[in-house]
């Protein structure tokens, strides 16, 4: 199978009762050459899922396949899956020149000899729009946007089959964010990079992704083509996320109209049974008596049969219903 | 590594560092030269002058064999220092080996090493040294090994702690993803990043080793005759200290001075290296242009909660003071919500902190006027300020975890405000606190009040923080990025809460954010800051339609939203914001501005108010868009 495939991946930290299952059987496919945006709130497990693929988090179950090979069991130096980190200030060694940082990621077998490697570093720097002369600088002399370009160049240096971009613009100022997003899109399209793009910002994910996957408490609750998921979200959690995005047209009155939900977010150490969203769900069992099913049965098992693979027992019928969740769309 | 060289040079530039360096140099010179110059004289036995006191011939007297003690102390410098340094080197090398082993060894073996080190650290160093001295046998070699081994555990632990903190950094994770092996990781990434604190500690360790050696030799466990070091000389001199103190005091002094030289140098290095210079770039700060206060014509007809005129905040810089806030003027009226937007470094947070008198020295705040609820804050005494800050003026910060005291229950902390500012009794204050928590919609407030801040989720903590701000019955809430650390769904609820509080209590709000959409959706009026100045002020409702400053326009265009055209690249602002210590001539935005003219590069525009109350600092503003929507009605 081509592309990057997460197959029922589980990540668990710690042991016994105090353990935390950060990712619970998440399945996700990034088709070759495409960008899948993974959204979710902090603690939803989206960054942990990414880390599991590059060996920075302990995989307890499932597989991560890249073009058919399980990358979590790879031994040796070559890493076909590369990652761009969130904080460009922390992800570059302050004592190592930019050129050395990039050169380090070039596979040994690919290029031998000092001059060949140096030429490759220059080529990579130019690819991300940086002057080749910057190779000799320490990261302290670069701005946040430039550092993030270096981060991209380092990821490309590994000649990856796929790239994971973990919140790559959230540490940047808005005026710089646009530059990095444009560059990323341009490079991604030129090289046809298979990319998992992680962010909490729906506007950003909409801008760069072909597909969107929504994560909640360690599970993928909805996924599908960007346009369709944003226009016709199936899972109530996706709808809640979308509604919370501040809009340009919003006024103080609009903010005032938000319906109130003051319950504490679910404790990831003790996730609720059944559908993990049910205590907060505006169309779930705490609101409607006829939906006790949500308390006991995990809707994820039949997700594949529903529109957008939505993990919800009560999704509206595929492609018929609109945004009105509360409306009794189901035949009953 | 010229950067590092200059940083070590900075150590010598401090007075303590210089003294210590000079002392060290003297010690080293004496250690090298003394045995060559006076080695003979120090060992000449003169049975005719045994155990004499100080005299012209023998400055510090003679010992039991009539040898000159002054020269013996000088000559002993070499052995004393050499032994101390050797022991330190042994300790440091062994410590490094043990400390870095867990990073390289398989996990299980690594853990074993770690726990062995932890166990060894539990024993006092001197006890270990005595123990090893007995094992290795009495004598110089034994003592060196003993002290070396005794210093190793603490050094190993230091190395472990430091490398663990570096190992948690993103760049190490990045290197791992890039396929860097364990050994290379250690040598290229971890060690260079912990080298400085290790070097500093090794220096201090040398001082300690010197002392330990003196101790061992004094006890007779160290250097044996015919060799001698300061410890032995001290031991010999001590026998007759009541008759002639000089023979005992001289080696004492030598030990103290040398030990001090090592320790002081280490301390000075720690101080100088620990604090990074404010700006590593060597550029002279330009003469900063000020916003001329005379031109800030703003009708102050309405009563204001907060009135700020020509506020400046400056910090001492490398060469000249740096001024991140350069003449900000703003007014917040009762019950009004004013938003301040800007990128990092625009001075927006400092403006908020200065308004609450929270800028710590060496930061310096000046203003023509800084008035809160009728009180001039800059001239007010602490006594006058007390009831205002924290009472009538509430602050809400980005990270509520750091704003709460972690060892006091949330209810207690809220109640304290009421006790302080309203003179309530303990019981009444606690009841009021529970009421407040209920008002900011913290569920089960009675139970929650007894919990500690870490038991609250981020959003709930921010609610409690707002509740705490409300305890003093504030007239103004200053919220500095209150939702930046929160998720979008939680953010929406916190903003809603702030709006409700405003509606219910008539409290004014000064909301600082980097996110234009957050501010636009919550506030009545918006101030846009760039490079320490306000560049535009306009009603929130007109933000998207009537913004005229090219920076405001660019900022609005650069943020993608759910309606952004996916087919086209995002509009970007070329370049980056200027550092406060290297502002360009003229308008600070001119180098990045598509509309910049010659005038913009030479002259800084004033913030001018137009008839509609719209303030703008720009020589060549964008024309008011012929609004396609209904936005430009005014």
Cβ separation of A247 and B521 shorter than 8 Å? yes
Confidence at A251, pLDDT banded by 50, 70, 90 = low
Residue segments in chain B with a per-residue pLDDT below the cut of 50? 1, 275-301, 626-634
Query: How many Å lie between the alpha carbon of A125 and the closest alpha carbon of chain B?
Result: 17
Contact A248 B544 (CB under 8 A): yes
Residue A239 near residue A248 (C-beta atoms within 8 A): no
For residue A136, give every residue at least 6 positions away whose Cβ sits within 8 Å of its Cβ, in sequence order, or none.
Answer: A97, A98, A99
Residues 6+ positions from B87 with CB-CB distance below 8 Å: B143, B144, B145, B147, B148, B151, B209, B212, B213
Nearest to B174 among A42, A91, A242 (CB): A91
Which position has the token pair 């919003």?
A250
List of residues 6+ apart from A285 with CB closer than 8 A:
A278, A291, A292, A293, A294, A295
Residue A52 has which token pair? 């599991």
Residue A331: predicted pLDDT: 35
| Separation CA A63–CA A81 (nearest Å) | 14
Report CA torsion sign: A234, A239, A242, A248.
positive
The verdict on B559 touching A (C-beta cutoff 8 Å) is yes
For B432, the 3-state DSSP assignment is helix
pLDDT at A263: 62
Distance from CA of B577 to the nearest CA of A (A): 9
Cβ–Cβ under 8 Å, residues B441 and A264: no
pLDDT for res A319: 42
The rounded mean pLDDT for chain A is 83
Q: Which residue of B has its CA nearest to A91?
A: B171
H or E element in which residue A276 lies: none
- Judge whether B488 is closer than 8 Å to chain A, CB to CB: yes
B positions 566-605 inside 8 Å of A (CB)? 566, 569-573, 576-577
CA distance B522 to chain A (A): 5
Q: Helix or strand or coil: residue B163?
A: helix
The pair of structure tokens assigned to A306 is: 């529903």
Q: Which residue has the tokens 């109350």?
A: B613
Q: How far apart are CA A17 and CA B401, in angstroms?
A: 26
Report field, pTM of the whole predicted structure over 0.90: no
Between CA B147 and CA B90 the distance in angstroms is 9
Q: What is the pLDDT of residue A254?
A: 53
A136 inside 8 A of chain B by CB? no
Alpha-helix residue ranges (DSSP H) falling in B219-317: 230-238, 246-274
What does each C-alpha distance from A289 to A272, A325, B512 come to in angstroms? 18, 16, 43
End-to-end CA distance of chain A: 40
Coil, strand, or helix at residue A226? Answer: helix
DSSP output for B362-419: T-EEE-SEEEETTEETTT--HHHHHHHBTTTEEEE-S-HHHHS-TTS-HHHHHHHHHH
Q: What was the pLDDT predicted at B237?
A: 85
Please tell me the predicted confidence (pLDDT) of residue A294. 84
H or E stretch at B477: strand B476-480
Query: What are the strands of the beta sheet with A69-70, ordered from one edge?
Result: A20-30, A4-13, A59-66, A69-70
Which of B178, B343, B562 minimises the CB distance to A174?
B343
Instruction: Write down the domain spans for chain A.
Output: 4-216
Alpha-carbon torsion angle A138, A141, A146, A152, nearest 10: 10
Task: Report which of A153, A36, A137 is spatially closest to residue A96, judged by C-alpha positions.
Answer: A137
Out of A41, A206, A250, name the one closest to residue B487 (CB). Answer: A41
Q: Give the whole-angstrom CA distance, residue A126 versus residue A124.
A: 5
Cα–Cα nearest to B272, from B17, B5, B1:
B17
Are A163 and A116 in contact by the 8 Å Cβ rule? The answer is no
Omega cis (within 30) before B375: no
Could you say which DSSP state residue A304 is in? G
- What residues of chain B, 131 to 150, have a C-beta less than 8 Å from chain A? none
Shortest distance between the Cα of B222 and any Cα of chain A, in A, equals 42
Asked if A85 has any chain B CB less than 8 Å from its own CB, the reply is: yes
Phi, psi (degrees; rounded to nearest 5) at B162: -65, -45
Do the Cβ atoms of B527 and B509 come closer than 8 Å? no
Which domains occur in chain B, in start order? 75-274 (1.10.3720.10), 293-392+472-626 (3.40.50.300), 401-471 (no CATH)
Structure tokens, B617 = 């600092």
* CA–CA min distance A76, chain B (Å): 8
A269 touches chain B (CB under 8 A): no
Contacts of A196 (CB under 8 A, 6+ apart): A4, A28, A30, A35, A36, A38, A50, A53, A162, A163, A164, A165
List all residues of chain B from 503 to 522 with a beta carbon under 8 Å from chain A: 503, 514-518, 520-522
Three-point CA angle B419, B448, B482, nearest 5°: 80
Region of B310 (left: φ > 0; alpha: ψ -120 to 50; beta: rest) is left
> Is some CB atom of chain A closer than 8 A to the CB atom of B169?
yes
Q: Which residues contact B393 (CB under 8 A, 6 or more apart)?
A: B356, B372, B373, B474, B475, B476, B478
Residues 6+ apart with CB under 8 A from A303: A309, A310, A311
Q: What is the pLDDT of residue B533?
A: 92
- pLDDT tier for residue A76 given thresholds of 50, 70 and 90: low
ipTM of this complex = 0.79
Measured CA to CA, the distance from residue B58 to residue B69 in angstroms comes to 7
Give B468's contacts (C-beta < 8 A, 6+ positions apart). Answer: B394, B413, B414, B417, B436
Q: Are the beta carbons of A256 and B499 separated by less than 8 Å? A: yes
Dig out the tokens for B340 from the structure: 């301040």
Alpha-carbon gap, residue B511 to B521, rounded angstroms: 11
Q: A180-235: per-residue pLDDT in tens?
A: 999 999 999 999 999 999 998 888 999 999 999 999 988 999 999 999 999 989 89
Indicate yes or no: CB of A258 within 8 angstroms of CB of B544.
no
pLDDT of residue B167: 84
The rounded Cα B281 to chain-centroid distance in angstroms is 19
Whole-angstrom distance, CA of residue B141 vs CA of residue B133: 9
Number of neighbouring beta carbons within 10 Å of residue A332 = 6
CB contact under 8 A, A138 and B3: yes
The answer to whether residues B509 and B498 touch, using CB atoms and an 8 Å cutoff, is yes
Rounded Cα–Cα distance for residues B152 and B146 (Å): 10
Residues of chain A contacting B517 with CB distance shorter than 8 Å: 246-248, 250
b/e B103-132 (16+ beta carbons within 10 angstroms → b): beeeeeebeebbeebeebbeeebbebbbeb
How many angstroms separate the Cα of B271 from the Cα of each of B15, B77, B274? Answer: 12, 28, 5
Distance from CA of A108 to the nearest CA of B (A): 10
Are the beta carbons of B507 and B550 closer than 8 angstroms? Answer: no
**pLDDT for B580-634, tens place per residue?**
888 888 898 988 888 888 888 888 888 888 877 788 999 988 887 644 444 333 3
3 state DSSP class of B288: coil
* CA distance to partner chain B, nearest, from residue A243 (Å): 8
Residue B601 burial by CB count (10 A; 0-12/13-18/19+): exposed, middle or buried?
middle
**Is 90 exceeded by the pLDDT of residue A249?**
no
Say if residue A330's pLDDT is above 60: no
Yes or no: say if A246 and B521 are a contact pair by the CB < 8 Å rule. Answer: yes
User: In 3D, which of B520, B465, B518, B511 has the Cα closest to residue B492?
Assistant: B518
Q: Give the model's pLDDT for residue A149.
A: 92
Angle subtended at Cα B164 by Cα B160 and Cα B168, rounded to the nearest 5 degrees = 170
Cα(B392)–Cα(B389) distance, rounded to whole angstroms?
Answer: 6
Judged against a pLDDT cut of 70, whether residue A46 lies above it is answered with yes
- Which CATH class for the A4-216 domain? alpha beta
pLDDT, one tens digit per residue, over B460-495 is 888 888 888 888 888 899 988 888 777 777 788 788
Helix locations, A55-143, DSSP H: 98-105, 114-127
């Amino acid at each position: 199978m081509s592309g990057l495939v997460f197959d029922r991946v589980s990540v668990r930290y710690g042991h016994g009762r105090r353990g935390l299952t950060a990712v619970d059987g998440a399945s996700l496919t990034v088709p070759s050459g495409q960008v899948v945006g993974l959204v979710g709130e902090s603690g939803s497990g989206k960054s942990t899922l990414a880390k599991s693929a590059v060996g920075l988090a302990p995989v307890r179950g499932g597989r991560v396949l890249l073009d058919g090979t399980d990358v979590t069991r790879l031994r040796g130096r070559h890493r076909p899956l590369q990652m761009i980190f969130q904080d460009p200030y922390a992800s570059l060694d302050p004592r190592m020149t930019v050129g050395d940082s990039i050169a380090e990621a070039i596979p040994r077998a690919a290029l031998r000899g000092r001059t060949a490697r140096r030429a490759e570093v220059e080529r990579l720097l130019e690819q991300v729009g940086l002057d080749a002369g910057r190779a000799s600088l320490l990261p302290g002399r670069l701005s946040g946007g430039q550092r993030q370009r270096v981060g991209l160049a380092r990821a490309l240096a590994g000649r990856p089959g796929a790239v994971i971009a973990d919140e790559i613009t959230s540490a940047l100022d808005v005026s710089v964010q646009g530059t990095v997003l444009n560059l990323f899109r341009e490079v991604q399209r030129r090289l046809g990079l298979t990319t998992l793009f992680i962010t909490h910002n729906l506007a950003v994910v909409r801008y760069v992704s072909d597909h969107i996957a929504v994560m909640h408490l360690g599970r993928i609750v909805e996924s599908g083509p960007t346009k369709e998921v944003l226009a016709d979200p199936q899972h109530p959690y996706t709808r809640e996320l979308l509604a919370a995005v501040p809009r340009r047209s919003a006024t103080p009155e609009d903010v005032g109209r938000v319906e109130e939900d003051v319950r504490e977010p679910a404790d990831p150490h003790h996730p609720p049974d059944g559908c993990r969203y049910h205590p907060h769900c505006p169309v779930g069992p705490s609101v409607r008596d006829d939906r006790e099913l949500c308390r006991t049965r995990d809707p994820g098992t039949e997700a594949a049969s529903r529109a957008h693979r939505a993990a919800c027992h009560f999704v509206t019928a595929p492609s018929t219903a609109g945004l009105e969740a509360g409306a009794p769309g189901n035949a009953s | 590594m010229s950067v590092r060289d200059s940083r070590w040079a900075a150590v010598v530039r401090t007075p303590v560092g210089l003294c210590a360096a000079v002392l060290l140099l003297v010690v080293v010179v004496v250690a090298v030269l003394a045995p060559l110059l006076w080695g003979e004289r120090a060992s000449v036995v003169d049975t005719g002058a045994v155990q004499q006191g100080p005299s012209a011939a023998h400055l510090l007297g003679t010992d039991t064999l009539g040898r000159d003690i002054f020269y013996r102390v000088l000559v002993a410098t070499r052995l004393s220092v050499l032994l101390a340094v050797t022991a330190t080197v042994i300790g440091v090398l062994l410590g490094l080996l043990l400390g870095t082993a867990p990073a390289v060894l398989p996990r299980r073996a690594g853990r074993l090493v770690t726990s062995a080190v932890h166990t060894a650290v539990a024993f006092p160093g001197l006890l270990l040294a005595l123990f090893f001295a007995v094992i290795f046998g009495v004598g110089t070699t034994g003592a060196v090994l003993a002290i070396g081994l005794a210093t190793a555990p603490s050094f190993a632990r230091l190395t472990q702690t430091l490398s663990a903190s570096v190992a948690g950094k993103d760049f190490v994770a990045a290197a791992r993803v890039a396929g860097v092996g364990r050994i290379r990781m250690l040598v290229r990434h971890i060690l260079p990043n912990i080298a400085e604190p290790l070097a500093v500690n090794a220096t201090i360790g040398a001082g300690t080793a010197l002392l330990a050696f003196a101790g061992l030799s004094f006890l007779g466990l160290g250097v044996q005759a015919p060799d001698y070091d300061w410890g032995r000389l001290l031991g010999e001199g001590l026998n007759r200290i009541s008759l002639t103190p000089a023979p005992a005091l001289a080696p004492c002094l030598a030990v103290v001075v040398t030990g001090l030289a090592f320790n002081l140098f280490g301390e000075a290095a720690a101080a100088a290296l620990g604090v990074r210079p404010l700006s590593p770039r060597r550029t002279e700060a330009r003469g900063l242009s000020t916003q001329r206060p005379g031109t800030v014509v703003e009708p102050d007809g309405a009563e204001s909660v907060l009135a700020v005129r020509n506020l400046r905040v400056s910090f001492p810089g490398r060469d000249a003071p740096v001024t991140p806030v350069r003449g900000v003027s703003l007014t917040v009226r009762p019950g009004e919500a004013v938003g301040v937007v800007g990128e990092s470094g625009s001075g927006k947070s400092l403006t908020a902190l200065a308004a609450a008198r929270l800028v710590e020295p060496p930061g310096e705040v000046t203003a023509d006027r800084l008035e809160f609820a009728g009180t001039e804050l800059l001239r007010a005494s602490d006594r006058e300020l007390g009831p205002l800050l924290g009472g009538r003026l509430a602050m809400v910060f980005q990270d509520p975890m750091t704003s709460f005291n972690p060892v006091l229950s949330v209810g207690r902390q809220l109640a304290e405000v009421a006790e302080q500012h309203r003179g309530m009794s303990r019981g009444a204050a606690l009841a009021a606190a529970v009421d407040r928590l209920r008002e900011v919609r913290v569920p089960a407030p009675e139970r929650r009040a007894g919990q500690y801040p870490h038991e609250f989720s981020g959003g709930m903590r921010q609610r409690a923080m707002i509740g705490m701000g409300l305890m003093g019955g504030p007239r103004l809430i200053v919220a500095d990025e209150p939702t930046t650390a929160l998720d979008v769904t939680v953010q929406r609820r916190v903003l809603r809460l702030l709006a409700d509080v405003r509606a219910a209590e008539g409290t004014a709000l000064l909301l600082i954010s980097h996110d234009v959409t957050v501010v636009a959706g919550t506030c009545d009026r918006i101030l846009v800051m760039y490079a320490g100045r306000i560049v535009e002020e306009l009603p929130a409702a007109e933000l998207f339609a009537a913004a005229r400053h090219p920076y405001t326009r660019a900022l609005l265009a650069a943020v993608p939203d759910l309606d952004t055209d996916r087919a086209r690249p995002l509009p970007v602002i070329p370049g980056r914001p200027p550092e406060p210590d290297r502002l360009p001539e003229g308008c600070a935005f001119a180098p990045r501005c598509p509309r910049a003219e010659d005038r913009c590069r030479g002259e800084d525009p004033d913030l001018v108010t137009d008839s509609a109350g719209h303030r703008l600092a720009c020589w060549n503003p964008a024309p008011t868009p012929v609004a396609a929507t209904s936005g430009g009605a005014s």
